[in-house]
Structure 1
Amino acid sequence: MPTAPTQIRIDIDTKKAANELFSELGMDMSEAVNIFLRQCIMRGGLPFSVSVPEYSHDLLEAAQEAKRITRDPSITGYDDMDSLKKALER
């Protein structure tokens, strides 16, 4: 069957992770995309459901706080459990 070259734009990190996964599965990006497209055609749509996840208000607030903490240089971090335990005991 003749093939047609196709270009798509993919985030660099996504492409790298996908290539690593496909390599473990014994295929390359082109083969994986072809499988995806064939599944779309067979099913008459995407081969998985697409929806916006609904997260609880508490979870979203916790995620925002975690993001703030990771970016705040005044928050002390710990490299191992022993350091954390010593700080908690103070």
Structure 2
Amino acid sequence: MQDAQEQQATVSVKVNATDKQLATELFDHLGLSLSTAINIFIKKSIAEGGIPFEVKDPFYCAANQVELQRRFDEFNRNQTQDNKLD
């Protein structure tokens, strides 16, 4: 009987078909199967105690924050001008 570390389990993941194709091609160029790449991700996540790269919402990037601030400032200026006209 195999010990617990050697036993294999199946993981089923739903992904966009285009993403799967692109990832398969990428990993193939690296000499890896998609399954091996996913196993590397899982092992690295376990070793680091979390996702092994930064995960963040691109909405909060510096350029978006500058644009949001510009729009808030413009809105506030317009509000102030509107209040002066009343």
Q: Name the TM-score, length of structure 1 as normaliser.
A: 0.60
Equivalent position of 1:77 in the other structure: none
Paired residue for 1:19, among 12, 15, 24?
Answer: 24
Structure 2: gaps of 5 or more residues: 1-5, 69-86
| Alpha-carbon separation, structure 1, partners of 2:7 and 2:34 | 18
Structure whose CA Rg is larger = 2
| Runs of 5+ unmatched residues, structure 1 | 59-90
Q: 2:15 aligned with 1:5, yes or no? A: no
CA offsets per residue over residues 23-62 of structure 1, 9 Å max, x none?
001111110000000000000000001111223339xxxx
Q: Which has the higher helix share?
A: 2
Which one-letter code corresponds to 2:52 in the other structure? P
Distance apart, 1:7 and its partner CA? 0.5
Give the secondary-structure state (helix, strand or coil) at the position aligned to 1:26.
coil
| In 1: Cα distance, 2:23 partner to 2:12 partner | 16
